Structure 1
């Protein structure tokens, strides 16, 4: 049997808009609630959320089969880390802080088995191969791997064309907060200069035939990016949604005091 079809990669390759959410609360219950909410994809965050390999595997298990496609963001793009996450069953990785074509090339190689790449072959031990029961996993996995790189600095913006030219990079994801901070507008994602840079990255990514994505809670910006051709857009963050709901509930409850 072959490697499972990566439905997320197939959808963005067809140019279908996929709406997603960030999952950072770590617990499997929270991940399952998000998976049942109806988002096309969920980003299980290992960069800023307190996740490790085991907690990410647990969340992959509850997200899979519930409608949403899982994406995993490692803390960095180290080759050994990519190997572990792919063996754990992740097929789509979002790698933060990719500033150059050289970085992107190394990431693309880490995502693939030889001879196309350098991914270590240990599928018999891996959840990805259903613990060895997918006999053709090693020969079919490469085409199902999806590499998304984050452009979130002035360097990444300057090197965007070279990054987009790397074979094996399936999409570029704009990180508005880090991009804005690097441009001198920390906490000001809505600054005109930052917005212009975001839209330029989206436009050039789409023009290069790659998938473009962004995380934004600004509905107007999300619509504008989609209008420009962005195909994977995150519009919610579980931690913020939960904390806001609890604050609202506390306010409503406290208002009942005599």
Structure 2
């Protein structure tokens, strides 16, 4: 029996646009709720949300029952972290702050079994292989792992063409907030210079045959990104949805008094 098909990777390879949302509440109940809302993919954020391996595992477990594909963002592209989340059952990983082709090459090795890669062969103990019940996991898993790398500063953009030339990278996500800060526009990803840089990068990624990704909660930016070729597009975050909706509800009634 082979490793299960990764529907998110398949959709990207077919050129389909996938809409997603960020999960920053680090909670299984809210993750399960978000899994019922119709997004194609949901990011379990290990970089800026208070997640650890066990909370990531728990969210992977509850999202398995949904139609939303779980994407795990690591805090950093460390080999041991990659091994842990893959064995825990993640099929798609998003790695922040990739700045060089050498980094990207190592990430490909991290998600690939020997002899072509460095992923530890311990799947007999892992949730990924259904605890050894997926008998052909070791020989079929590589094809179903989706590796997404984040390019989010000027150094990374300077190396973008070299990163795009590396086999084994499925998509490149442009990080608007960090890029804006690195360009001297902290907190203003909508600055004209930042927007032009983002859209040009998305077009380059698509032209190279990789899937471009972006996070945007601003509709005109989202539309521009789609026009530039973006394929995996996060359009919100659970934290922002809860905060903004609660603020609006509170203000609605307090303004009446």
What are the within-5 Å matches in structure 2 for residues 40-189 of structure 1? 40-189=40-189
Cα distance change on mapping 1:32 and 1:115 into 2, 3 Å: same
Unaligned runs of 5+ in 2: none
Instruction: String of CA shifts for 1:118-157, please: whole Å, max 9, x gaps.
Output: 0000011000000111000010000001110001000111
1:148 partner SS: strand
2:199 partner SS: helix
Q: Distance in 1 between matches of 2:14 and 2:203?
A: 17
Q: Distance in 1 between matches of 2:114 and 2:223?
A: 40
Q: Distance in 2 between matches of 1:213 and 1:21?
A: 12
Is 1:238 matched up with 2:200? no
> What corresponds to 2:12 in structure 1?
12
Q: Distance in 1 between matches of 2:256 and 2:19?
A: 37
Q: Distance in 1 between matches of 2:60 and 2:36?
A: 13
Q: TM-score, normalised by structure 1?
A: 0.98
Displacement of 1:204 in angstroms is: 0.4
1:227 partner SS: helix
2:93 partner SS: strand
Q: Distance in 1 between matches of 2:177 and 2:165?
A: 25
Q: TM-score, normalised by structure 2?
A: 0.98
> What corresponds to 2:226 in structure 1?
226
Is 1:198 matched up with 2:198? yes
Displacement of 1:253 in angstroms is: 3.3
Q: Distance in 1 between matches of 2:130 and 2:89?
A: 9
Instruction: String of CA shifts for 1:217-248, please: whole Å, max 9, x gaps.
Output: 11111111112221100001100100111112
Displacement of 1:252 in angstroms is: 2.6
Displacement of 1:256 in angstroms is: 5.0
1:76 partner SS: coil
> What corresponds to 2:29 in structure 1?
29
Runs of 4 or more above 3 Å deviation: none
Q: Distance in 2 between matches of 1:132 and 1:141?
A: 13
Q: Distance in 2 between matches of 1:67 and 1:82?
A: 24
Q: Distance in 1 between matches of 2:249 and 2:219?
A: 24
2:31 partner SS: helix
Q: Distance in 1 between matches of 2:256 and 2:214?
A: 40
Q: Distance in 2 between matches of 1:115 and 1:208?
A: 27
Deviates more, 1:28-37 or 1:243-252: 243-252
Instruction: String of CA shifts for 1:4-46, please: whole Å, max 9, x gaps.
Output: 1000000000000000000010111110111100001000000
1:109 partner SS: helix
Q: Is the contact between residue 200 and residue 228 of structure 2 (CA under 8 Å) also seen in structure 1?
A: no
